[in-house]
Amino acid sequence: MNRILIHNADVLVTMNADREELPHASLLVVDSRIVHIDSAARMLLWIQQDPGNRQPDRILDAQGCVVTPGLVNCHHHLYQTLTRTIGTGEGKVLFDWLKMLYPIWAEMDPEAIYTSTQVGLAELLLSGATTVADHLYLFPNGIRLDDEIAAAQELGVRFHPTRGSMSLGESQGGLPPDRVVESEAAILEDSQRVIETFHDPEPLAMVRIGLAPCSPFSVTGDLMRESARLARSYRRVGLHTHLAETLDEDRFCLEQFGMRPLEYAESVEWMGADVWFAHMVHPTEPEIQRMAHHCSGVCHCPSSNMILASGIAPVRRMVDLGVRVGLGVDGSASNDGNHMLGEARQAMLLQRVGWPGFESRADRFSAREALELATLGGARVLQRDDIGSLEVGKAADIVAFRIDDLGHAGALGDPVAALVTCAPARAWFSLINGRIVVEDHQVVGLDVDMLVKRHNRSSRTMLKKAGVL
C-alpha cells in the first residue's frame, strides 16, 4: 500500500458538484485513489488519530501551488509531431493541408509512431494532461495501434487510443490518396483485435479503446455503420470522428450525401452518449439541440481551428444547451504544440471575440469555465466518472501548478483564474492513478534529450523519403 500526501496547497480546485475551491488544503492518496481531503491542519490531526493506517510514505509540499484534477485531452494526432509547421506557417486550409501531408505521413514506420507518441505525451504531461485520447488513422509500413499504446504505457499516461481508419481513396471520390487507405474488411478485423487485446471497460482503466473512422470525406457510410455496430457489441468502447470542421466539409456532405454532416452521421448510426465529435465548428442551432438531446459529445480544438482558419466553434451555445464539451490539442502539426492548459486559455479567449451573429463580449466565457472544459468536461466526453474531479473515491489523477513563480507574480487576487489568464505554466508535479509521473517540472524517468534525437531522426528519414528534404 502506497500513501502520498499532497499537503497545504494554496488552493485545491475540486471540480466537485459544488465546484468547491479549498484554501490551504491537503489530499491523501492511497494506491490509485483519493481517500481523504481536508484543510492542511485538520489533515494532520486526522493522520495522527491512526498513524498506522494513515501515515504517508511521501509528502509533497504544495505550498505555493494551485492543485487541480488532471487535465483531459479528448482529441489528438500524436504522430503529427513528426511534421510540425509543414503547411501551417504558410497558411493552408484543412483540405489543402491534408493533401500536402498525406504523402509524407505515408512514409511513417512503427519506430516513428512510438517516438512521436512519446514526444507528444511528454509535452502533454508537462502541460498538466493526465488522460489523452488519440486518433491514429494511418497504418502504412507495418504500423499498428499497439505501437502508440506501448509508448503511452511506458510513460504512465491514462490513454484512450482510437483505432482510426480511412477507406475512401481519391479514385472513389475521397480526399486521401489511394496508397494510404485500407480495405474495410481489414479495418474491422483489426478494430476487433485491438479491442479484444487492449480494451479495459472497468473503473480506473488505464487503456480504453475507441473506433474512429476518420471523416465523411475519407470513409464510406458502410464503414461508419459497421464500426458503430462493432463498438456497441462491447462495453464502453467509444466512437469518435471529425465532424463539421470546415465549410468545405459541409459542401462535400451536401454534394455527396444530400445531407449536412451531423444529419449524415445520424443516418449511419453515429449519435448517442458513446459518440464524441472532434471540432464541430459549424453546427446549426437545431443541430446543437439534437446533440444535446442524444447526449453526444464534442471536443473543441481552438488552436487548430484558428491555424487552419476553420472557424470559431459556438462553444458557449453548446455548453448552455447541455452538450457535453471537452478540449483537445488536436494534431501536433495543426497547432503546433501540445499544451492543454494553453488550450484552455485559447478556448476562453476565442469565445470572447465576436463572429457573425455574436458580438464581442469579455464575459462570454470565464477562466473557470475553460478549466472545467479541460477537466470535468473532458471526463464527461470520454464517459468517465472516475476522473475529472478531486473527490474521495476518484482516481488519483492530480496536477499541481506553481503560482509563486515569475509568470504569476501579482496574481494573488485570483490564483485559480491565473492558471488560464496568465501565460500557460508547466506542471510542477503530476500523479496518474497514484503514480508520480511529473516531478519538479520533469517527466519522471524520461531522457528527453535522447528522445528528441530519436524523434528528429525518424522525422528526417520520413521527410527525405517523401522528397521534402
The pLDDT of residue 332 is above 90: no
The pLDDT of residue 357 is above 90: no
Question: Given the C-alpha cell 509547421, which residue does it identify?
Answer: 85
The pLDDT of residue 356 is above 80: no
pLDDT at 454: 98
Q: How far apart are CA 224 and CA 239, in angstroms?
A: 10
When pLDDT is cut at 50, 70 and 90, the band that residue 6 belongs to is very high
For 379-389, the pLDDT digits (tens) are: 999 999 999 99
Task: Give me the phi and psi of 203, to 5 degrees please.
Answer: -55, 145
| CATH number 3.40.50.300 given to 3-69+395-443 | no
pLDDT at 359: 85
pLDDT at 185: 98
The Cα-based distances of 361 to 197, 349, 366, 369, 421 in angstroms read 49, 10, 11, 15, 16
Tell me which CATH homologous superfamily contains domain 71-381: Metal-dependent hydrolases (3.20.20.140)
| CB half-sphere exposure, 441, CA atoms < 13 A | 6
Start-to-end C-alpha separation, the chain: 53
The mean pLDDT value of the chain amounts to: 97
The pLDDT of residue 354 is above 80: no
Write out the chain in H/E/C secondary structure: CCEEEEEEEEEEECCCCCCCEEEEEEEEEECCEEEEEEEHHHHHHHHHHCHHHHCCCEEEECCCEEEEECEEECCCCHHHHHHCCCCCCCCCCHHHHHHHHHHHHCCCCHHHHHHHHHHHHHHHHHCCEEEEEEEECCCCCCCCHHHHHHHHHHHCCEEEEEEEECCCCHHHCCCCCHHHCCCHHHHHHHHHHHHHHHCCCCCCCCECCEEEECCCCCCCHHHHHHHHHHHCCCCCCEEEEEECCCHHHHHHHHHHHCCCHHHHHHHCCCCCCCEEEEECCCCCHHHHHHHHHHCCEEEECHHHHHHCCCCCCCHHHHHHCCCEEEECCCCCCCCCCCCHHHHHHHHHHHHHCCECCECCCCCCCCHHHHHHHHHHHHHHHCCCCCCCCCCCCCECCEEEEECCCHHHCCCCCCHHHHHHHCCCCCCCEEEECCEEEEECCEECCCCHHHHHHHHHHHHHHHHHHCCCC
Task: List the domain boundaries for the chain.
Answer: 3-69+395-443, 71-381
When pLDDT is cut at 50, 70 and 90, the band that residue 411 belongs to is very high
When pLDDT is cut at 50, 70 and 90, the band that residue 209 belongs to is very high
pLDDT > 70 in the chain, percent? 100
Closest CA to 340 of 65, 131, 164: 131
For 56-105, the pLDDT digits (tens) are: 999 999 999 999 999 999 999 999 999 999 999 889 999 999 999 999 99
pLDDT at 82: 97
Dihedral-angle region of residue 464 (phi above 0 means left; psi in -120 to 50 means alpha; beta otherwise) = alpha
pLDDT > 90 in the chain, percent? 97
The Cα-based distances of 214 to 182, 275, 328, 398, 432 in angstroms read 12, 13, 16, 32, 29
State the average pLDDT over residues 283-289.
98
- Let me know if the fold of 3-69+395-443 is the same as that of 71-381: no
pLDDT at 229: 98
pLDDT at 135: 98
pLDDT at 391: 98
State the average pLDDT over residues 288-295.
98
Say if pTM beats, i.e. exceeds, 0.95: yes
For 219-243, the pLDDT digits (tens) are: 999 999 999 999 999 999 999 999 9
List residues bridging with 161 in a β-sheet: 134
Q: How far apart are CA 317 and CA 243, in angstroms?
A: 17
The pLDDT of residue 355 is above 80: no
pLDDT at 214: 97
For 156-191, the pLDDT digits (tens) are: 999 999 999 999 999 999 999 999 999 999 999 999
